[in-house]
């Protein structure tokens, strides 16, 4: 039963936090933009950005407190593939002017045509990448 409730609760918390940030600050919960602004120039709004990112990092700690164990994480990819993937995702978020949380969670909820195009694009590339890695000889 927990295999259904845990993702459901996680999704509900993501939606609630995105909605709360939009209502309270008028800001979109796009993680790449929130973190990116901390790395660049600070516009005097660093406090809420830091609080939001700390909240993300505290998520597994909260999970452990509720579930009594750390969330299970299994990564089968070698480090070079993880680093390459991270760099490509970072490049894609800059190219697409947003990330999965900004476009996928917030943009689609706002019925943004730009976000729909971005989500369709990154989902298509994600599916193609998984196919190539699993069936195209790109795995270990």
| Angstrom distance (rounded) from CA 23 to CA 4 | 29
Q: Judge whether 54 and 126 are in contact, CB under 8 Å.
A: no
Between 18 and 5, where is the model more confident? Answer: 18
Give the distance from CA 82 to its chain's centroid.
Answer: 15
pLDDT band at 3 (very low <50, low <70, confident <90, very high): low
Q: Looking at residue 127, what is its pLDDT?
A: 92
Q: Looking at residue 93, what is its pLDDT?
A: 83
Q: What is the pTM of this model?
A: 0.72
Average pLDDT over residues 10-16: 86
pLDDT band at 83 (very low <50, low <70, confident <90, very high): very high
Segments in 26-76 forming alpha helices (H): 31-39, 46-67
Which two three-digit tokens encode residue 76?
């089968």
What percent of the chain has a predicted confidence (pLDDT) above 70? 94
Residue spans of the domains in the chain: they are: 1-73, 75-140
């Amino acid at each position: 039963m927990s295999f259904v409730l845990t993702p459901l609760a996680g999704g509900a918390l993501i939606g609630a936090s995105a909605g709360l940030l939009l209502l309270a600050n008028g800001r979109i919960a796009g993680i790449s933009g929130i973190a990116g602004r901390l790395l660049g120039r600070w516009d005097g709004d660093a406090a809420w950005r830091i609080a939001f990112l700390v909240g993300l990092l505290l998520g597994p700690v909260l999970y452990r407190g509720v579930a009594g164990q750390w969330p299970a994480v299994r990564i089968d990819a070698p480090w070079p593939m993880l680093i390459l993937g991270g760099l490509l995702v970072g490049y894609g978020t800059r190219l697409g002017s947003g990330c999965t949380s900004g476009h996928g969670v917030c943009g689609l909820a706002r019925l943004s045509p730009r976000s729909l195009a971005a989500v369709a694009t990154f989902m298509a590339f994600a599916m193609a990448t998984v196919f190539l890695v699993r069936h195209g000889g790109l795995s270990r």
